[in-house]
Amino acid sequence: MQLTQVIAVYLAEKEGEQRAEFPDIERGMKVFQDYLNDWTAVPVAKVTQISAMHFQEFFGWWYIRKCRPTPAMARHLLMVMEDFCNFVLRRYDVNLLPIYRPVLDELKEALPRVLTLQSAISPIKSQEYLRYAVASYGEEGAKRMGAIGDYEDIIADYMKVVDLGEGTDICLRTLTDNYDIGPITIPLEAARLVREGDVIYLEVGEKEGAWEIIDSGFAYPWVPVDLS
């Protein structure tokens, strides 16, 4: 059962069906197919070769980086994938549900949450804001506004949340060299969303012994061993 053929049959069966429940179903499945064909360590040619790790890496890492989904888009594709697994069982007697459902249970809350978190944690000192401040008020004016900081050290890395402190403080650990950073203050909305174990790509600066976020990237509920 070639993966490309199975997905094509699934999409053909869904043509004209359940569009209200699963809109834009073709795009989501094509994205998954591209991941399995082109972005896994070993290309996945058959449905029977799909593993729990493929589902986990796709939703928890690759999908976020490549598609920049909204929380609503993520919820939608998680539902589509469960429907696809039911189709494969019914049509081809291949049961992917035992390996997909644990991933679904883990990510149905976590994936939309981290997608909201990555917007909430984005600091006002992002590069876009810095360029705007310098262009509008000059370098000295930007410094007075706090858009430019005189940092003693700057680190940009994937950072794992290792501890939730008091209020809006969290402690981080870089994934590259296990360097501990923090406590570091984050916006209130981000503090309500963040969980221990979340991974966020951050640029942070240290000034007078205190750390603050300079810029932020994607947030992930899961990361692969190889971060390349």
35: pLDDT strictly greater than 70: yes
For residue 165, the 8-state DSSP code is -
C-alpha–C-alpha distance, residues 116 and 112, integer Å? 6
Q: Name the average pLDDT for the chain.
A: 86
| pLDDT tens profile 96-117 | 999 999 999 999 999 999 999 9
137: pLDDT strictly greater than 90: no
| Range 143-165 average pLDDT | 79
Q: Any residues with CB less than 8 A from the CB of 140 and at least 6 apart, and which?
A: none
Q: Out of 2.40.50, 3.30.300, 1.10.3470, 2.20.28, which CATH number does the structure's domain 149-220 have?
A: 2.40.50
Considering only residues 122 and 55, tell me which one the structure prediction assigns the higher pLDDT. 55
Find, among 187, 191, 169, 198, the residue nearest to 109 by Cα. 198
| pLDDT tens profile 58-94 | 999 999 988 889 999 999 999 999 999 999 999 999 9
In contact, 155 and 181? CB cutoff 8 Å: yes
44: pLDDT strictly greater than 90: yes
Q: What is the pLDDT of residue 124?
A: 57
C-alpha–C-alpha distance, residues 80 and 111, integer Å? 15
20: pLDDT strictly greater than 60: no
Q: What is the pLDDT of residue 226?
A: 63
| Range 151-158 average pLDDT | 89
For residue 154, the one-letter residue type is I
| pLDDT tens profile 168-201 | 999 999 999 999 998 999 999 999 999 999 999 9
pLDDT tier, 223 (very low <50, low <70, confident <90, very high otherwise): confident
Long-range contacts made by residues 13-22, C-beta under 8 angstroms, separation at least 24?
13/87, 18/83, 21/79, 22/76, 22/79, 22/80, 22/83
Q: What is the pLDDT of residue 207?
A: 84
Extract the tokens encoding 98. Answer: 């035992």
Q: What is the pLDDT of residue 152?
A: 83
Full-model pTM: 0.82
Extract the tokens encoding 135. Answer: 């262009």
Q: What is the pLDDT of residue 168?
A: 92
Q: To 5 degrees, how large is the angle CA 71–CA 35–CA 96?
A: 80
φ/ψ of residue 101, rounded to 5: -60, -40
142: pLDDT strictly greater than 80: no
Domain extents for the chain? 3-119, 149-220
Considering only residues 183 and 22, tell me which one the structure prediction assigns the higher pLDDT. 183
